[in-house]
Structure 1
């Protein structure tokens, strides 16, 4: 009994440490649920989205872990977007801080009330005002940029939408209303970020993405960025799972972007390696560790029930 009890204590301690490390990765090492997530319970309306929406289905899914990786890969192909990250971001020194900031904006827009969603977007736009410089286009011209340039705002929005939709279609469950419903939902976020006429259908998304292809390229900066995304400084307990998620992000990339990034889908010689089963296994473990629903969704539901826009769950008994 004594040895069994000691083994159980060791296992509980190991699992507890792993859970803390995992939560810390997404909250910039916060020891508890960040206050901003709890504050999503406040507010005066139900928000832009709610239960049954395509946005909640996708952003409440663990496929967002794969989507985040893929989104960064796609964004890096635009020299203007990459210049902003390279010249102004401290992502190498503080990758978790940048990740936590992005998660905060996504979840505030997805789960907060409309005032909180607008405020979070305006905050990002104010930060963008200080991100400026120049980059060389594929035609050899030197072009000045700011992070709030309309074309860069559009590119980041398109890359985000494509990545979150594509990875969810590959590794997630069905989307209420289908793919078009998600693109239309997230067009709301695009409008909040001052993207003019963001796509509202998959066809529009593909057309707007295709228009950017002549501006995209692979160069030394892109190669450096890919190397960092492929092997970020994560705790040892997360490294094996991350390799699976990175492979999943590459495998589900649209072929044009995978070719531009000079990445190959996982294979053994000419034989493609399966990624769906291991990816879903890793995502399942992460969901078990973090719990479901997440704090942001739970706070949103509490707010909506307080306001009477969502009924309290019925008690069984």
Structure 2
């Protein structure tokens, strides 16, 4: 029964511990900056997506998908994965350098998106102050193989420890570069059009209101949290002081976010999952 199903993970998992953190909103943005540096991955998005005209809709759909895989029931997570696989199977794109057509669901591209996402979640949370042991770090990456399987990857081909993630980045870095599409995407991520309710001051003659400044601060922090080699690809200096400043900022932001009411920090799917877990924990043991 769905009422007894805790999904792919559950309250004892590292995944639930990490995704409890509202600071992961910054991590999601970090992963997008990182993903844009892969020419084929970027071409796949640019040639098949309306992200410029529906940025917030796309962001909401992505957040819903992540929430479903983390907190949904097993059936809900598997159904979300099946929908994504069907969508990807139809999509093709053209390599910007070779002119070769390729499938968007190419395992190398799916693996790049998966690794950059989970590594961004974990790195951001730890640098924001979430205490995780080395075993928990490896445990998180291993658990996330279940999510990788949902998009069609063979879990055995997905890095499952911190050492394997680091080795993966070393191997893929020669393929990365700042293309024109990557630069345009990074600029768009830094200053996207805000939803109309938040951009009202601009409608009355002001270019920057509090929501815009707040978003710029989050985007700047997400960019500064990138690995030094990624910032260098974007033309940045990659100085150690950049990373230190990002660490201090993201820690302060995490503290601020934890003061928000629960209804603002947790989505409906997360709340429902916790309620299922509480019911199971309170149920009498039979047999």
Same fold (TM over 0.5): yes
> Under TM normalisation by the shorter chain, which class is it?
0.7 to 0.9
CA contact (8 A) 2:43 2:95 kept: yes
* Residues 57 and 133 (structure 1), Cα distance of their counterparts in 2 relative to 1, 3 Å cut: same
User: SS in structure 2 opposite 1:101?
Assistant: helix
Alpha carbons of 1:43 and 1:128: their partners in 2 closer, same or farther (altered >3 Å)? farther
- Is structure 2 residue 233 aligned with structure 1 residue 260? yes
**Equivalent residue of 2:95, what SS?**
strand
State how 1:1-317 maps to structure 2 within 5 Å. 42=2, 44-137=4-97, 141-175=98-132, 177-196=135-154, 197-234=157-194, 235=198, 236-264=209-237, 274-287=245-258, 288=260, 290-306=263-279, 308=280, 310-311=281-282
Q: 1:284 to 1:151 in 2, by over 3 A?
A: same
Check the 8 A contact 2:9/2:70 in 1, yes or no. Answer: yes
Secondary structure, aligned partner of 1:158? helix
After TM superposition, give the deviation of residue 284 of structure 1 in Å.
Answer: 4.2
Q: Are the counterparts in 2 of residues 63 and 172 from structure 1 also a CA contact under 8 Å?
A: no
Q: CA RMSD in A?
A: 2.5
TM-score relative to the length of structure 1: 0.76
CA contact (8 A) 2:31 2:116 kept: yes
Task: Say whether the 8 Å CA contact 2:225–2:243 is kept in structure 1.
Answer: no
Whole-Å separation in 2 of the counterparts to 1:265 and 1:42: 48
**Aligned 8 A contact 1:244 1:275 in 2:** no
Cα deviation, 1:185-239, whole Å, max 9, x if unaligned, reads 2121112212222111011112122221121111211110110011112224432
Cα gap change, 1:94/1:283 in structure 2, threshold over 3 Å: closer, same or farther? farther
Structure 2: where are the runs of 5+ without partners? 199-208
Question: How many pairs are equivalent?
Answer: 265
Shift of 1:298: 1.4
Contact 1:180-1:202 at 8 Å conserved across structures:
yes
Taking a change above 3 Å as real, the CA distance of residues 232 and 172 of structure 1, as seen in their structure-2 partners, is farther
Instruction: Confirm or deny: 8 A CA contact 1:133 1:144 kept in the other structure.
Output: yes
- CA deviations on 1:151-190 (whole Å, 9 max, x unpaired) are 1111111111221111112114113642111111212111
* TM-score using structure 2 length: 0.83
Task: Give the unaligned 5+ runs of structure 1.
Answer: 1-40, 313-317
- Kindly indicate whether the alpha-carbon contact (under 8 Å) linking 2:124 and 2:225 is maintained by their aligned counterparts in 1: yes
